[in-house]
Structure 1
Amino acid sequence: MLRSVKGVICQGPKLDFGYFLHASARAWLSAAVNQDVQIPAEKPRTVFRTNESNPANHAEQHEGQHYSIPLQEVKVVFPHGLPYRFQMQMKTFNESCLMVRKPALELLGYLKNTNFAHPAIRYVIYGEKGTGKTMTLCHAVHYCAKQDWLVLHIPDAHLWVKNCRELMQSSYNKERFDQPLEASTWLKNFKTSNDHFLKEVSPEELTLVHNLRKMVVNDWNGGAIVTTLSQTGSLFKPRSAYLPHELLGKEGFDTLDPFIPIQVSNYSQREFESCYQYYLDRKWLQHERASTEEGRNELLFLSNSNPWQLERISAYL
């Protein structure tokens, strides 16, 4: 079986509810930042939004900017595939915004230039915990959906079998799963509708765990295989491990090889500034010092530019 894991980074200092900064962080920054310095009123803000909502048009000039996905479109493209905390953020902000990041641009570039006459290419998204691997995958899924491709999105392989069993219990679906078909065959129907897809796959094919491995075999053409590595389900692996050969083991690595690795790292300076300005714009940062240069530097220090850490720290402010 393939095992998917992702690495873990140490959590930063925790914030007490009555304080903006951990004491040690405040001491560290006092030597580097003058507390009396305020952001000049005339200092221009980083452009953190783009009006370009079609992922097919995203390019280097959009890197670090947020683009909006209509909420009705989110329900269609990601019925179960968005991280829980991002869904909560959507409810809070009343909008769905994804940041255009370099790893996603790299992956979209590959997909745009794919020769579909050749065997499907495998892409493996990997990185440390909280760097944004899932959101990179979601950006790619949104691109494929906008291209009218058939997208088989499995957010959690461990829950997939359970969900498929529930799907089969519906009398509506039982009437449509009447023609057994090899997995490699239905994957070739890359641009068919979801309804047509449901008519062609037998219940047995969807509920067998071993089909997860069959889906990453590139003995078909007309599409692409994009996977992410997470720590869930991995046994006897160091918590700091996140590289493909560390997490997959020999059997899993040999099953995916050859593949193109896509590494997702912490925010770049531009991306951190964009996220910080976005949180300010959405009133996510409420503390009186959050909008000062000192507050910005404190968030940068505490989060180490890790997207997950920055979101969690900002939630207390």
Structure 2
Amino acid sequence: MKDQIVKDIHEFETIIIHRHVRPDPDAIGSQCGLAEAIKAGYPEKKVYVVGEIPESLEYLHKMDQIKDEIYQEALVIVCDTANTERVDDVRYNTGKKVIKIDHHPNIEPYGDVLWVDTTASSTSELIYELVDTSNGKLIITDEVARLLYSGIIGDTGRFLFPSTTERTFAAASALVKKNFSFTELFDKMYETSIDMAHLNGYVLQNFSLTEEGVGHINITKELMKEYGVTSEQASLAVSSLGNIKGIKAWVIFLEEENVIRVRLRSKGPAINDVAAKFNGGGHPLASGARVSSWEEAEEVVKELKRVCQQF
């Protein structure tokens, strides 16, 4: 499959790379790392990266603004996106050929070529392997290394998550040989605004923990306004509950205009099936979903209690 993808990259003159909405470092790292690796190997090709990027991730890369007609004869590659609903920029399916590269469960196969490997820690890890085995057609520059390393770090929690394997360390080992600043990258990835620090404090003081080991908290629109944070920023507060003693799985609910976003995490019980029941999905230990009311949010907590009790 990697050979086929490299062959397609070689044959197309225009390549447009997408990833999922509400991107994280792995989405940006894999998307833009692949783009830069193609540019380094094929300077004559037209390579674009598209999608909305949050201010908090602008330090990683800048997105391109392109016209619809550019897609007509283009190869489109979608990174780190399990289902079509989450692809950022719906024009992805107007290209001549579509490739899916992902490490999430393949709940919705799409595209003409699919490379999905759920044993990989991240899609950035897969992109590293694609470049590394391309026989020099794609090139790992310092910038490619910085982008892919950020994606691996982001999706493994700095190598702390169970998805980290020898394969992950092998990729990271090769990438850190390139010339980029780990300190500067970590500072950007993990710096917290004063507003978010205050919100994290609120979450730690006000979350509930059930006897089954489920942590949960509701973050309303009024609360986000009070703390001066967006829903996207507030979603990062989910990580603040990860070190609580006795917690097995946890969820934060984020109220938006017409939907309540659900951010799920776990230390062991598989939660992606719970997410799937509520218009979502993801990894066994990190998933997302959405519900339409606080009553439905309570049903999510009940499901989490069930899986934690069975664990």
TM class, shorter-length: under 0.3
Q: Which structure is higher in RCO with an 8 Å CA cutoff and minimum separation 6?
A: 1
Higher fraction of strand: 2
TM-score by length of 2: 0.27
